[in-house]
Amino acid sequence: MSTPSYGPCIDAAQITAALARHADPTPQAIREILAQARDLNGLRDQDVAVLLANTDRDLDEEVFHAARVVKETIYGNRLVLFAPLYITNKCRNDCRYCAFRVSNKALVRRDLTPAEIARETQIIIDEGHKRILLVAGEQYPGSDGIGYVCRAIETIYGVKSNRGEIRRLNVNVAALAEPDYRRLNECGIGTYQLFQETYHRPTYQSMHVSGPKSDYDWHLEAMDRAMTAGIEDVGIGALFGLYDYRFEVLALLHHARHLEDRFGVGPHTISVPRIEPAAGSAVALNPPAAVRDHDFLRLIAILRLAVPYTGIILSTRENATIRRQCFALGVSQISASSRTNPGGYSEAATGMRSGSQFSLGDHRNLDEVIADCLELGYLPSFCTACYRSGRTGADFMELAKPGLIKEYCQPNAILTIKEYLQDYASEETRALGERLIGRSLEAIATDGLRCDLCDRLVRIANGERDLFY
Ligand code: SAM
Ligand code: SF4
C-alpha cells in the first residue's frame, strides 16, 4: 500500500519509522537525551521518539524533572492568562468530535451582534482579563465573510472603561485564503491559532466529514498562507484523542520546523487540547485514541524539552488538579473562567449549557484560579507588552532565545498582577499576591531594575495603569 501524501511539511513515513525504530529505549539513552535537553537547544526527532517510547514510570519522573528545570529556566514562575470569547457557534463543517458540527441539529445556534460582543467583552474585562482569544465556528453572518470577524475584533478593542480594556486579542478561526489573512492582520491581532486536530491523514479524513475543513491540505497549509500574509505569531495544535498522541507530537514538531525553515520563525505557541464530551458526539464521548492523564503529562513535558522557547497553552478543558501538574511541566499560558458558547458570559451559570462547544473541566472564576496559582508559587501575568512593542515573530524569538525575555516578562508580570490586585482581586487574593510580589522583587538581581520596578508599583498603587517594559 502506498503512503498517503501529507503535504510539504509532515513526513508521516519518517514519523512512523522513528517511532518504530526507538521502541525499546535504554535508561542510558534517555538520560543522555535529558542531559542535552537541559542545554535548552531543543531535541531532534529521534530523541523525541525515544522519550515518547519510554514506558518506565521512574524514568518518566526524570523526564518530568528535566521539563520542570527547562520551564523554570526560561519562563520562571510566570503563567499568562486569557479568556476565550465565542462569537458564533454556526458552522458549515461536520467535525465529528465538535458540538458545533453542521449535522448537530439539536444545538441552539447563535451569532452575536456587535452589542452582544461588546457586552461579553465588558464582562471579561470586569473580571480582570486583558487578553481575549476570539473563537468562532466557520459560518459568518452577512455577505462579507471574514468581515464579520474583523468587525468583532474592532468591537472588542473598542470596549474601554475605567475598569480596563483588552490589550491583546488572539484569534482561533477556520483556515482562510491569503487575502483574508491580510485583512485579519490589519485588524491588529496578536496570535492566529489553528489546530490541525490530527496530522494523520486517514484519521483526519474520517473525522471531517464535509465542509471546507474536510480538505486536509487546505487546513494544513493555512499557517503558510497566514505567515505569507504577514501574520508573525501563529499557534498550532492537535486535538489529542483522535490518533496516537506520539504521532501527533512528532508531527507538531515537523510542522513547527517547517515554519521555522520557511519563515525564519517557528510557531509562537502550541496548544494541547484533549477531547472533552460534546453534545451528541459519540466520538467526543469515546475518543478513538484517548490520552490518559499520565501520557498527557508526558507529552507536555516532552514538548517542553523539544521546543523550549515555544509557549504551551492549556485550556479549561482540563480540571484544576491536572492543570496544576501541567503548569510545572511546561505550560506557559492558561485560560480561566471560560465559556464556550456565544453569549456564555452574559449567562449566569457554569458548566455545559445549550450552545456550548464542549464541557469544561475547570469551572472556577478568575479570582479563584489566580489565588490557586499564587498559593502554588506561580506569578499570574496579564502582560501584553511584547506584541504592543513590536517584539513579535522572529524579533521575539531572538530575544527569547538567550533568555533576555525574562528581563521584560518577569517585571511586566509583576506590574500586571499588581494592577489586577488593585482593581479586581478579593481581599484574600490581594494578600497572597502582595506577598508573591515582595518575594519576586527580592529575586531580581539587578538593583537598577528592582528600584525602577518599585517606583512603578507605587505609581500603579496611586492609580496609573498600563505601565510596561
Ligand atoms: N472552527 C475553527 C476550527 O475548527 O479550526 C476554530 C474554532 S474551534 C471552535 C476550536 C477548537 O476546538 C478546534 O480546533 C478543536 O480542536 C476544538 N474542539 C472541538 N471539539 C472539541 C471537543 N469535543 N473537545 C475539546 N476540544 C474540541
Ligand atoms: Fe466547526 Fe471548528 Fe467545530 Fe469543526 S471544530 S465543527 S470547524 S467549530
Query: Taking the domains of the chain in order of start, what are their residue ranges?
Result: 12-71, 75-390+393-397, 404-461
CA of 98 to the centre of ligand 1 (A): 6
Question: What is the pLDDT averaged over residues 331-357?
Answer: 80
Q: Give the three-state DSSP class for 208.
A: strand
pTM comes to 0.95
What φ, ψ does residue 117 adopt, rounded to 5°? -65, -40
In single-letter form, the type of residue at position 197 comes to E
Residue whose CA is closest, atom 19 of ligand 1?
98
Distance CA 177, CA 222 (A): 8
CA of 282 to the centre of ligand 1 (A): 15
Cell numbers standing for residue 270: 502550541
Q: Tell me what the pLDDT averaged over the chain comes to.
A: 93
- From the CB of residue 445, how many other CB atoms can be counted at a distance below 10 Å? 6
pLDDT at residue 357, as a whole number: 75
Residue whose CA is closest, atom 3 of ligand 1?
174
In single-letter form, the type of residue at position 321 comes to T
Which atom of ligand 2 is nearest the CA belonging to 136? 8
Q: Which residues pair with 14 in a beta bridge?
A: none
Residue 271's alpha-carbon distances to 251, 381, 433, in angstroms, are: 13, 18, 27
The residue whose CB lies within 8 Å of the most ligand 1 atoms, and thus the one to mutate among 239, 272, 283, 340, is 239
What is the CB-side half-sphere exposure of residue 422 using CA atoms within 13 A? Answer: 20
CA of 439 to the centre of ligand 1 (A): 39
* Helical axes 12-21 vs 245-263, angle rounded to 10°: 130
Query: Ligand 1 within 6 A of 64 CB?
Result: no
> Which ligand does the CA of 208 lie closest to?
2
Reported CATH class of domain 75-390+393-397: alpha beta
Q: What are the start-end ranges of the E strands in 295-375?
A: 311-314, 333-335
pLDDT at residue 3, as a whole number: 45
Distance CA 194, CA 377 (A): 31
Count of positions (residues) in the chain: 469
Query: Ligand 1 within 6 A of 323 CB?
Result: no
Read off the pLDDT band of 393 (50, 70, 90).
confident
Query: Ligand 1 within 6 A of 467 CB?
Result: no
CA of 133 to the centre of ligand 1 (A): 13
Q: Give the three-state DSSP class for 238.
A: strand
Distance CA 191, CA 17 (A): 33
Distance CA 84, CA 335 (A): 7
Nearest to 469 by CA among 417, 415, 408, 418: 408
Distance CA 429, CA 420 (A): 10
| Residue 208 clears pLDDT 70, i.e. is over it | yes
Read off the pLDDT band of 162 (50, 70, 90).
confident
> Which residue shows C-alpha cell 482562510?
176
> Which ligand does the CA of 341 lie closest to?
1
Those residues with Cβ within 8 angstroms of residue 287's Cβ, 6 or more apart along the chain or in another chain: 97, 241, 242, 275
Distance CA 423, CA 461 (A): 10
Read off the pLDDT band of 152 (50, 70, 90).
very high
Cell numbers standing for residue 242: 483522535
Distance CA 318, CA 119 (A): 27
The residue whose CB lies within 8 Å of the most ligand 2 atoms, and thus the one to mutate among 94, 95, 275, is 95
Distance CA 247, CA 355 (A): 32
The residue ranking higher by pLDDT, 333 or 3, is 333
Pocket of ligand 2 (CB under 6 A): 91, 93, 95, 98, 100-101, 137-138, 174, 213
> Which residue shows C-alpha cell 535508561?
27
Query: Ligand 1 within 6 A of 137 CB?
Result: yes
Q: Is 24 within 8 Å of 55 (Cβ atoms)?
A: no
CA of 139 to the centre of ligand 2 (A): 10
| Residue 337 clears pLDDT 60, i.e. is over it | yes
| Residue 353 clears pLDDT 80, i.e. is over it | no
Distance CA 81, CA 336 (A): 7
| Residue 206 clears pLDDT 80, i.e. is over it | yes
Question: What is the pLDDT averaged over residues 313-340?
Answer: 93
CA of 251 to the centre of ligand 1 (A): 18
pLDDT at residue 348, as a whole number: 56
Query: Ligand 1 within 6 A of 239 CB?
Result: yes
Relative to beta strand 78-88, strand 379-381 is: parallel
